Amino acid sequence: MPHISLPEGFAGITGGFAFRPETAKPMRELAHILLHEPNSLTPGERELIATYVSSQNDCYFCQTSHGAAAACHLGSTDIVKKVKTDFETAPVSPKLKALLGIAGKVQQGGKNVTSSDVERARALGSLRQE
């Protein structure tokens, strides 16, 4: 529920972009980099993480749009549905399950992420150590 007056007729984040148009281009560029530029996760896996977090946020627009992108990349709507309902039993890699666990905890509050969560993800090939 927005706490500012947004223009009518815009779904999800597009209402915020209409409210502050100067933010649309850099925010879309950031989303593109995070979701589609070369990385250790495929675009489909990154879209699954966005879908899961959006479902936990109960944002229909975001979980639907990210879910559609994930399904397109992965060739399966079933994986998307399973990740949203129970990612631990979804047919995704252990690495992705570890990252989904972290994403779910961050969605609740970043301080919920434990050292063991991070170590699990690192052991499975995620989260570069700088």
- Tens digit of pLDDT for each residue in 21-48? 998 999 999 999 999 998 889 999 999 9
Whether 115 maps to a domain, the answer reads: yes
**Domain containing 86 — which CATH number?**
1.20.1290.10
pLDDT digits (tens, 9 = 90+) for 98-107: 999 999 999 9
Residue 127 — pLDDT band, cuts 50, 70, 90? low
Contact 18, 10 (CB under 8 A): yes
Whether 3 maps to a domain, the answer reads: no
Burial of residue 32, with CB atoms counted within 10 A of its CB: 0-12 exposed, 13-18 middle, 19 or more buried: exposed
Domain count, the chain: 1
User: Nearest CA to 52 among 24, 25, 88?
Assistant: 88
Whether 49 maps to a domain, the answer reads: yes
Phi, psi of 11 (to 5 degrees): -90, 145
Alpha helix (H) residue ranges in the chain: 13-19, 24-36, 43-56, 60-74, 77-86, 94-108, 115-123
* Model pTM score: 0.85
Whether 117 maps to a domain, the answer reads: yes
Domain range for 93: 42-123
Token digits for 73?
A: 């990349």
Say which residues have a Cβ less than 8 Å from residue 65's Cβ, sequence separation at least 6: 12
Whether 87 maps to a domain, the answer reads: yes
Whether 52 maps to a domain, the answer reads: yes
CA dihedral sign of residues 77, 74, 92, 67: negative
Across the chain, mean pLDDT equals 91
The pLDDT value given to residue 125: 87
pLDDT digits (tens, 9 = 90+) for 51-88: 999 999 998 999 999 999 999 999 999 999 999 999 99
Whether 114 maps to a domain, the answer reads: yes
Residue 1 — pLDDT band, cuts 50, 70, 90? low
Whether 28 maps to a domain, the answer reads: no
